[in-house]
A = this chain, B = another copy of it.
Amino acid sequence: MPKPPKMADVAKAVGVSPMTVSRAFRRDTSVGEATREKILQIAEEMGYVFDSTASNLRSQRTGFVAVTIPSLNNSNFADTVRGLNEILQTAGLQLLLGYTNYDVNEEERLIEQLLRRRPEAMVVTGGCHTDRARRLLVSSGIPVVETWDIPRSPVGYTVGFSNADAMGRMVEHLQSAGARHLTFIGGDDNGDTRGADRRRGFVAAARRLRLDYQLTPLGSPPVSMREGVRAMAEIFEARQPIDAVVCVSDLAAFGALTECQRRGVSVPDEVMIAGFGAYDIADVALPGLTTIDAHSLAIGNRTGELLVALLRGGTDVAAAQTVLHIEPTLRISGSTVSR
């Protein structure tokens, strides 16, 4: 295998300086149109592939945007990543993805690893990080966006919503639909701060509205359909009076729904079921699941637009909003209201 050609080889073959080849490979710079075409054509014939690693070092710009998310096997975050990538790809930016697996220590490790790659911006999920992770983010000097949360003390920019408030609105809906004895199905405290926030919001609202409530903890996140089945089964075994279950996600809610159907318990007449996330299943299940649409895709889109403005836009960077609130939408369906 012969060594792959470099820019200098192309330059020699065309009969120009390497600098002209370099310019030809970028849209904006000034090269004669005929020269550019000739260069690109000969480069293609030679099998030349532009080397970003050298470009990155010299120009001190990598075109990377690093993102840490808990997991991709949860379509909510996957939607956000998709929405983010839609915008970034157009701007020629490349995602650098890391999975924290709902663990802040893993997140810290990942943030350090990712910063070594010299991303031009960093997007993290949630507003809860280790002290060292915060320090790394702040001293990196690049724009940082926290998503899916409204942290009390943000590191940089924020694109998200209050998980607690959203769940509060769900509890209000259930009360007005007639529920008096509620239970919350969600993962344990460890790791999933979004889930914990939703539980806090549930508890706060239940207290405020003087509703009877309890909590049905599951294992570690991500909470799956099967765990919704298991939790609902436990609830039935406990034989407490229950007329509404609030689930940390639509997946658990669907599991709970099928367990009700398996036992011949009518939803919503005997038990109401509420989810979170506006997954496809919420629409397609029978009955449909009442849920909260957090606008996952829009969170990604807005984050992407913010970053492109920050990185590529020159002037009014300071004018960018620091906190971008994406208001979730309550979507009422057959799992809480008879049709």
List residues of chain B with CB within 8 A of the CB of A224: 280
Q: Is A72 an interface residue (CB 8 A)?
A: yes
Q: How far is the CA of A71 from the CA of B56 in the complex (A)?
A: 28
Are A226 and B51 neighbours in the complex by a CB distance under 8 Å?
A: no
From residue 257 to 286 of chain A, which have CB atoms closer than 8 A to chain B?
A: 258, 261-262, 280-281, 283-286
User: How far apart sit A116 and B43, CA to CA, in the bound complex (Å)?
Assistant: 14
Given A54-B57, A262-B286, residue A94 in contact with residue B96 (CB < 8 A): yes
Main secondary structure of the interface of A (DSSP, over half): helix
List of 5 A-B pairs having minimum Cβ-Cβ separation, nearest first: A225-B284, A52-B116, A53-B56, A72-B78, A225-B280
Most B-side CB within 10 Å, residue of A51, A53, A89: A53
What are 8 sample pairs from A and B whose C-beta atoms fall under 8 A apart? A49-B112, A49-B136, A72-B72, A73-B79, A78-B78, A226-B280, A228-B284, A258-B286
Number of copies: 2
The chain A residues found within 8 Å of chain B, CB to CB, are 1, 4, 47, 49-54, 56-57, 62, 71-73, 75, 78-79, 81-82, 85, 89, 94-97, 99, 112-113, 115-118, 135-136, 139-141, 224-226, 228-229, 251, 254-255, 258, 261-262, 280-281, 283-286
CA distance A236 to B289 in the complex (A): 25
Closest to A140 in B: B49
Check A280 against B251 for contact (C-beta < 8 Å).
yes
Would A117 and B53 be within 8 Å (CB), given that A226-B284, A261-B286 are in contact?
yes
- Interfacial chain B residues near A135, Cβ < 8 Å: 47
What CA separation (Å) do A119 and B49 show in the bound complex?
A: 12
